[in-house]
Amino acid sequence: MAHDLLEHLREAPLVADGAMGTMLNAKGVYINRCYDEVNLSAPELVRDVHREYVRAGAELIQTNTFGANPVKLARHGLDERTEEINRRAGELAREEARGGVFVAGSVGPLGIRIEPWGPTSVAEARAHFLRQARGLVEGGVDAFVLETFGDLTEAHAALEAVREADPGLPVVVQMTIDRSGCSLYGTPPEQYGSRLDGWGADVIGVNCGVGPHTMLEVLGHLRRVTDRPLSVQPNAGPPRRVDGRTIYMCSPDYLEKFARRFVEAGARLLGGCCGTTPDHIRALAKAVRRGRATVRAGAPAPPRVEAPETPGVAPLPLAARSALGRALAEGGHPVLAELLPPRGCDPTAVIEKARTLAAHGVTAINVPDGARASARMGHLALAVLLGREAGIPAVLHYCCRDRNILGMQADLLGAAALGIRDLILITGDPPILGDYPDATAVFDVDSIGLTNIVARLNHGLDVGGNPLGGTTNFVIGVGLNPTAADLDREVARYRWKVEAGAEYAVTQPVFDVEAFDGFLARLGPRRIPVLAGIWPLASLKNAEFLNTEVPGCRVADAVMRRMAEAGDAVAQRRTGLAIAVETIRALRGRVQGFQVSLPFGRVDVVPELVAAARG
């Protein structure tokens, strides 16, 4: 059957089925239920859907396994039943595939971000897909349909996994697109079409996201870069909310009109996605049958065009990007000082403090991005004001908590246009720790993924690999926690950040020099410059707060004892400053610079700390 499927597609178009989820929902399966588990608990519903599509004219039906990977099934406590659910789905489809109808195993994305955008490695993703693919092979599928992929890297991992599960089965790979025709990560069709062709996908196409009109245009772009059979499975138009219901406006007649155009554009596998029903497939099959004779006698495909590669350009040398970059590149000893944005809209007091810090020789002002999830003036606005009004550059904290991947890219391009060059990239504290614990966190990527995004911008490429027409030239810093509960994971994440493009690291406050030495040794001899965090304790209460309520911060027992024995408030402040100075002197030969926090905005401690840092 596998061989017959590819032979059929080379000769004439083939009609696939439509939406599975739409049909199961219409049969009473609620949206909050695991649709893949229905293969086990209500198999008759799945059989009914397959049967209706076959009666409507579908010549290829897809298993009810779009989300049947271990990552998504784990959300329902079903990850250990991955193989069983996929095997049963294949068997159900096979039972209804009468009269030579093909069965394709449906494989969708994992629902998480993989490298370079998230912490899941490509190898881990491939292993998840492999479990699903093996179950589908046991269920008797004739092919695989990898559908609704937005990330080309994830699609490649899935393709490799299904090839490992059964190298002999044909594989259809379909990207999901936006109205521009690009993938959800911004990759244009010429690029993802060329890549999928090079990776050996047997059929290349698009599904979901948009309706027929945009997909017709995309087929033309794909045909220019590949001579493999093309597939198209549009939604029944973009979904609309009408009186609290989700309505798809594309009628079967409308889809029928586009079917002939799809075939003329090179489509050989035609079906439907979200919102489509057996009525849509019936109309599609009617149009495809009418056009088959024309296709068999049709004109040859246009000559294939190689998609241009966009490797990006080199950013400026580190020393040419900023004063901090120059200090890092030339072995200087930069000192950063942290100033929190104000809670209101008046930056006057912060600007005055910045001027004082500049006068004391601080290299740059570190501006946190919603530290401890607090609600304050926007850090980007303050960073620009500090440069303009105080004459000192700002190091912009940028966290992943509040923005999706599109918002991050937009913010960073805007920051570059406003003259910001120095960054510290962090994942960010969850809202539950801050002023508005019910606020929604985004966390589209973590700090590793964000580092990859910024590194691409520095090479003149956006997230989708498209040229920007210039580079951002950021100096890329990342966070580092020498007192993390899981030091093995912290060291591994540090190495991933370096691999992603990090150029320096700033640590959490150091209160234990011996432990810090051990941590530095674990980073290895060839590490990026490290700036040690320094926090001059203001009081015993301040030390207790850091030790118990600030994530990632730990105050050594010896320091706690010294603060407790210091006496009154004045003595405690002096002791806290003395500990900070001692820590700087002890670390001066071990790290390249320092990042000084200023509890309660106390700039009076800076001269002594800068003097200690500079020797």
Asked if 25 and 100 sit in the same domain, the reply is: yes
pLDDT at 278 over 80: yes
Give the model's pLDDT for residue 437.
Answer: 63
Asked if 44 and 180 sit in the same domain, the reply is: yes
398 CA to centre of own chain: 16
Give the model's pLDDT for residue 290.
Answer: 81
Residues paired with residue 173 on neighbouring β-strands, in sequence order: 146, 204
Asked if 9 and 83 sit in the same domain, the reply is: yes
Please tell me the distance from the alpha carbon of residue 108 to that of residue 70, in angstroms, as a whole number: 12
The tens digit of pLDDT for each residue in 153-208 reads 999 999 999 999 999 999 999 999 988 889 988 889 999 999 999 999 999 999 99
Mean pLDDT for 102-121 is: 91
Residues near 214 by Cβ (< 8 Å), separated by ≥ 6? 177, 179, 181
Asked if 250 and 340 sit in the same domain, the reply is: no
Q: Which structure tokens are listed for 334?
A: 């930069």
Asked if 278 and 422 sit in the same domain, the reply is: no
In a domain, 448, yes or no: yes
In a domain, 488, yes or no: no
pLDDT at 32 over 90: no
* Residue where one domain finishes, among candidates 296, 315, 349: 296
In a domain, 456, yes or no: yes
Give the model's pLDDT for residue 400.
Answer: 83
Give the model's pLDDT for residue 215.
Answer: 93
Integer angstrom CA distances of residue 117 from 35, 429, 448, 450:
28, 19, 7, 7
Mean pLDDT for 30-58 is: 95
Please tell me the distance from the alpha carbon of residue 458 to that of residue 474, in angstroms, as a whole number: 6
The tens digit of pLDDT for each residue in 394-445 reads 999 998 887 888 888 999 999 999 999 999 999 877 765 555 566 666 677 8
pLDDT at 305 over 80: no
In a domain, 504, yes or no: no
Give the model's pLDDT for residue 87.
Answer: 98
pLDDT at 322 over 70: yes
pLDDT at 302 over 60: no
The tens digit of pLDDT for each residue in 531-590 reads 999 999 999 999 999 888 887 788 999 999 999 999 899 999 999 999 999 999 999 989
pLDDT at 298 over 50: no
Asked if 260 and 407 sit in the same domain, the reply is: no
Mean pLDDT for 110-121 is: 86
Asked if 272 and 346 sit in the same domain, the reply is: no
pLDDT at 293 over 90: no
Give the model's pLDDT for residue 184.
Answer: 85
In a domain, 433, yes or no: yes
The tens digit of pLDDT for each residue in 243-265 reads 555 555 678 888 888 998 999 89
CA-wise closest residue to 357 among 602, 60, 62, 107 = 602
* Residue where one domain finishes, among candidates 480, 509, 529: 480
pLDDT, mean over the chain? 89
Asked if 210 and 343 sit in the same domain, the reply is: no
Give the model's pLDDT for residue 300.
Answer: 44
Query: Number of H helices and number of E strands within the chain?
Result: 23, 18
Give the model's pLDDT for residue 310.
Answer: 57
93 CA to centre of own chain: 33
Please tell me the distance from the alpha carbon of residue 345 to that of residue 53, in angstroms, as a whole number: 60
Q: Hunting for tokens 């290299």 — which residue is that?
A: 363
Mean pLDDT for 493-517 is: 93
Greatest mean pLDDT among 234-238, 241-245, 272-276 lies in 272-276
Q: How many domains does the chain have?
A: 2
Mean pLDDT for 122-133 is: 97
In a domain, 63, yes or no: yes
Domain that holds residue 464: 335-480
Percent of the chain with pLDDT over 90: 66
Please tell me the distance from the alpha carbon of residue 64 to that of residue 114, in angstroms, as a whole number: 24
In a domain, 207, yes or no: yes
* Residue where one domain finishes, among candidates 454, 480, 506: 480
Give the model's pLDDT for residue 299.
Answer: 40
Asked if 251 and 353 sit in the same domain, the reply is: no
pLDDT at 218 over 80: yes
DSSP state of 319: G
Asked if 101 and 44 sit in the same domain, the reply is: yes
Asked if 418 and 274 sit in the same domain, the reply is: no
Residues paired with residue 370 on neighbouring β-strands, in sequence order: none
In a domain, 231, yes or no: yes
Could you tell me the pLDDT band of residue 505, with boundaries at 50, 70 and 90?
very high
Asked if 284 and 348 sit in the same domain, the reply is: no
Sheet strand arrangement including 60-62 = 14-15, 267-270, 230-233, 203-207, 171-175, 143-149, 102-107, 60-62
Q: Which CATH number do you get for residue 396? A: 3.20.20.220
Q: Which structure tokens are listed for 613?
A: 């840092």
Integer angstrom CA distances of residue 431 from 67, 376, 401, 554:
29, 13, 8, 21
Greatest mean pLDDT among 83-92, 119-128, 232-241 lies in 83-92
Give the model's pLDDT for residue 411.
Answer: 92
Q: Which CATH number do you get for residue 261? A: 3.20.20.330
Give the model's pLDDT for residue 485.
Answer: 87
Please tell me the distance from the alpha carbon of residue 269 to that of residue 510, in angstroms, as a whole number: 61
